[in-house]
Structure 1
């Protein structure tokens, strides 16, 4: 597994997710890097569980991170196919409620928890990441698949 360097904003956000007990997984480019193919990425993708309890925790997390009450409501996290973007690349965080080809609960049960600078971080497992990348089917996803172990 690759050593991961995180921007301070990413660390702060991950700490908040953990302190509020949000069920989440790091997916996308940072997960690809963790699993052995470090590459440039414009954001950190955070996939969260879609349920009422997790939505309330996610709402609190985003407010504590600095989003205004009018910009973030629990409703953003109670339906599939939602995306909340914060920041600008390369320090953008995208909170998503759906990941192609995979089920959150199944992936969460197989998550890999690693510590980065003292912060426990939930990553999607390699096999689940592969399924997700195949389902996405974009050129960069296919390239990621070629380079993953």
Structure 2
């Protein structure tokens, strides 16, 4: 999948800060052999106090244009921190539907995006997430 410079810069900032995150969404699908077009990259950030500090430092290193962000944004349940506009949108999520972070972290899969090492959501957890999201949409 094509990786723009903003995505590479964010990957570098997250990795350098030691943020515990998983790549989810279309880029996770691509890592499992099912690439599809997308206008964003999704990072699921572990919602813990220590990790929120790391994520905040990563945002500062990245040079986020969002002055309204704080560490607490990475602790709020069901929060999405969005940076940029499609097709260069970066989403940092504190939760995803149908999967808990600890279980997903235990089953994470090593991959690479744009030359950067990443952890992606396992195939099983990706399927669970997509099924849960589909159930919500049909209700």
TM-score normalised to structure 1 length: 0.85
Shift of 1:5: 3.0
1:77 is aligned to 2:74? yes
Partners of 1:124 and 1:69 lie apart in 2 by 27
Residues 68 and 93 (structure 1), Cα distance of their counterparts in 2 relative to 1, 3 Å cut: closer
CA deviations 1:59-106 (Å, max 9, x no partner) are 111111112573220010112111111111111000000100001011
* CA-to-aligned-CA distance 1:78-135 (integer Å, 9 cap, x gap): 1211111111111100000010000101101111112344311111011110000000
- Alignment partner of 2:14: what SS? helix
Q: Secondary structure at the match of 1:41?
A: coil
Aligned length: 136
**Which shifted more, 116-125 or 12-21?**
116-125
- Name segments (4+ residues, structure 1) moved above 6 Å: none
Q: Note if 1:23 corresponds to 2:20.
A: yes
Unaligned runs of 5+ in 1: 142-149
| Residue 42 of structure 2 is aligned to residue 45 of structure 1 | yes
Correspondence for 1:32 among 26, 29, 33 = 29
Aligned pairs (5 A) from 1:40-119: 40-67=37-64, 70-119=67-116
Q: Would the aligned equivalents of 2:31 and 2:111 in 1 still touch at CA under 8 Å? A: no
Provide the TM-score with structure 2 as the length reference.
0.91
Could you list the runs of 5+ residues in structure 2 that have no partner in the other structure?
none
